[in-house]
Amino acid sequence: MRSLVLAATTVLVVLGIENHAWWLAAVTLLCLYVRHGRGSPGTAPPTTGTPAPPPDSYRAYRDRRDRQAKWERRYRRERPLEARRQERGKAK
């Protein structure tokens, strides 16, 4: 994202040599990037591989745990060969 903004700003500056309205567009682009771009307090950082926040209450945690267990039992029941293969993979 940063390189895209810098490239666009460079193009606008080059175009602004003869027409100063392009300079204004370049400054506007940089201001918008600084205000709303990466790292501003309004944007959340990407969450890849981070655990979920703790549950609001123990009951919510139990409900999610029970729902996950129900889906796992259903998966093992409907796909016994795949479930056995996964179990063997965990044991190794």
15 Cβ contact list (under 8 Å, min separation 6)? 22
Residue 83 lies in a domain: yes
Which domain, by its residues, includes 14?
A: 2-36
Residue 62 lies in a domain: yes
Collapsed DSSP state (helix, strand, coil) of residue 86: helix
Residue 47 lies in a domain: no
Per-residue model confidence as pLDDT tens digits over 56-85: 789 899 999 999 999 999 998 998 888 888
Per-residue model confidence as pLDDT tens digits over 10-66: 887 888 788 888 888 888 888 888 887 765 555 555 556 666 666 578 989 999 999
**Cα(first)–Cα(last) distance of the chain, in Å?**
42
Residue 27 lies in a domain: yes
Residue 3 has pLDDT above 70, yes or no: yes
Q: What does each C-alpha distance from 25 to 18, 30, 54, 57 come to in angstroms?
A: 14, 9, 45, 50
